[in-house]
Structure 1
Amino acid sequence: MRNIPVAEVDGLDRAVLAIGTDYPPGHLLPCHEHRRAQFLYAATGVMRVGTADGAWTVPTHRAVLIPAMTPHRVAMEGVSTRSLYIEPGAVPWFPTRCRVVDVSALLRELVLAAVDMAPRYPEHGRDATVVRLILHEIANLAPLPLDLPLPADPRLRALCEAFLRDPGIHDPPARWAAALAVSERTLGRLFRTGTGLSFAQWRGRACVLHSLGQLAAGAPVARVAATLGYENPAAFTTAFKRLLGQPPTAYADSGAAVRGRDGR
């Protein structure tokens, strides 16, 4: 199925519904929720998924697991998605909080195949076997550190969200403390309590995750590093590898191969 709302087929008596959707540049899906659990895969582009307690960046070839009935919004940057909507009873092991996962080559091919299956696929035979194998593969996916916790405190959250729109690695904690009319020590406690990270850890993670969209769009590493305020590309690369275990070049315009083969 392609480019149809899940609501039109949600009532079908099948454990998994697969839908491919193409979105215009800069598209925003406002806050919504699904009765089914969702496996949301970025065939191209980069997605940013936001909930009440955090934000998840989803680069090309990766996916986010969204639990059933979880209010979320999705910002799209050049995105074509392949979504699996899964009956909660079929995935009792599904996470209770959003999670970004790496997607193996096998699972990617299975998901692409599922999108071309009939919505009411036979309960026995090849298509049903594809679905069972998909669920087996999803259960064993490796999580990726592409989440950014957001605090519940409304004043601190507002500052965090403003930072995410224009991040900088050297944004001083003194500025944040002054905006909240607290000491820097108190700011540190607020960050620890609200996010589980120190201010510097949160700021660094936010900068690296922000860079993924620029890298996927083809921006040179040196330009991305400069935009975020790093002294040089090497400093940015070190921070990037520390968080994601790979250099920035591993995420640079990584949608090209998929666009060439599955740019439908």
Structure 2
Amino acid sequence: MRNVRLAEVDALPVAVLPIATVYPPDYLLGWHEHRRAQFLYAATGTMLVETEHGAWTVPGERAVLVPPDTRHQVRMFDVETNSLYIDPAAVPWWPAACQVVEVASLLRELLLAASDIDPRGGLNSRDEVLLELILQETSRLSEVPLHVPIPEAAPLAGLCRRYLADPDLAVDNRVWAREAGMSERTFTRRFREEVGMSPAAWRSRARLLAAIPLLRHQSVTNVAARLGYATPAAFSYAFTRAFQSSPSSLRLRAS
């Protein structure tokens, strides 16, 4: 199915609903949730997925696994998706939190073929085999660490979400502590307790994640300068160390 709203087909008595969608540039799919697990694959572009507990960046030709009944929002940068909405009973192994995963060439082709399936007219034997094979392949995926946690405490979460939307090199712990109404020492301790890393380390990782959508249209050199790195080599080293992929390789997928 293509460009079909989930609500129109959610009640169909099938375990897997394949829906392909083309989104306008820089489109925000606001906060929502669905009872089915979602396999959200970016055939093109880059997606930024947020939940109450974290933020995930999904370059082209990768996917994010969204658990059922998980409130989330997605910003789409020139994205075409191939989604699967799956009855939770069919995927008991599904993760309890979002995960970005690698998508191999076989699964990409299966997702493309599945977009032509329309369960509203019933499933033939080929459709059933194709969807079952897709489920088998989704159970073998490898996670990639393209995310940052978000604190639960409201003042800390607000600071993090604003930073994700607009990373600012001028922000430091003193600025954040003042905005949160805490001493710098108390702020730093609470932040580390909630997310398991220092505020400075969190901001550094968030800036690296912000590089991924920028790499769609800018060179590694330009992105490195924009994010405040002294050299492209320093940026590439930090990026590869954080995400186990070079910025040049993700640039190809994000474009």
Aligned pairs for 1:139-154 within 5 A: 139-154=139-154
How far does residue 253 in structure 1 lie from its aligned partner after superposition?
3.9
Aligned partners of 2:78 and 2:6: how far apart in 1?
21
Q: Percent identity?
A: 50
Q: 1:133 to 1:241 in 2, by over 3 A?
A: same
Indicate the RMSD between aligned Cα atoms, in angstroms.
1.7
Aligned to 1:222: 221
Mapping of residues 1-264 of structure 1, within 5 Å: 1-120=1-120, 125-168=125-168, 171-216=171-216, 218-254=217-253
TM-score after normalising by structure 1: 0.91
Question: Is this contact kept in 2: 1:122–1:128, CA < 8 A?
Answer: no
In 1, the alpha carbon distance for the partners of 2:246 and 2:58 equals 17
Question: Does the Cα contact within 8 Å between 2:213 and 2:254 map onto a contact in 1?
Answer: no
Superposed displacement of residue 133, structure 1: 1.2
Q: Distance in 2 between matches of 1:184 and 1:233?
A: 32
Supply the distance in 1 between the matched residues of 2:134 and 2:170 (Cα, whole angstroms).
43
How far apart are 1:167 and its partner, in Å?
1.3
The residue type paired with residue 65 of structure 2 is: L
Give the residue type in structure 2 aligned to 1:50. Answer: E
Residue 97 of structure 1 and its aligned partner are, at CA, apart by 1.0
What is the CA–CA distance in structure 1 between the aligned matches of 2:7 and 2:230, rounded to whole Å? 49
Letter in 1 for 2:98: C
Give the whole-Å Cα distance in 1 for the aligned partners of 2:11 and 2:193.
41
TM-fit CA distance, 1:186: 2.0
Deviation of 1:67 after TM superposition, in Å, equals 0.9
TM-superposed CA distance for 1:125, in Å, is 2.6
1:39 is displaced (CA, Å) by 0.3
Residue 128 of structure 1 deviates from its aligned partner by 1.2
**1:74-132 deviations in Å (ceiling 9; x for gaps):** 11111111100001110011111111111111111111111112325766632211111
Q: What secondary structure, in the 3-state scheme, does the structure 1 residue paired with 2:119 have?
A: coil
* Contact 2:44–2:254, Cα closer than 8 Å, also in 1: yes
Q: Which runs of 5+ in 2 are unaligned?
A: none
Aligned AA (1:229): G
Q: Which runs of 5+ in 1 are unaligned?
A: 257-264
Post-superposition offset of 1:245: 1.2
User: TM-score of the superposition, structure 2-length normalised?
Assistant: 0.94
1:234 CA displacement = 1.2
CA distance in 1, matches of 2:72, 2:119: 25
Evaluate the alpha carbon distance shift between residue 15 and residue 121 of structure 1 in structure 2; reply closer, same or farther with a 3 A threshold: farther
User: CA–CA distance in 1 between the matches of 2:123 and 2:20?
Assistant: 21
- For 2:91 and 2:120, the matched residues in 1 are separated by 19
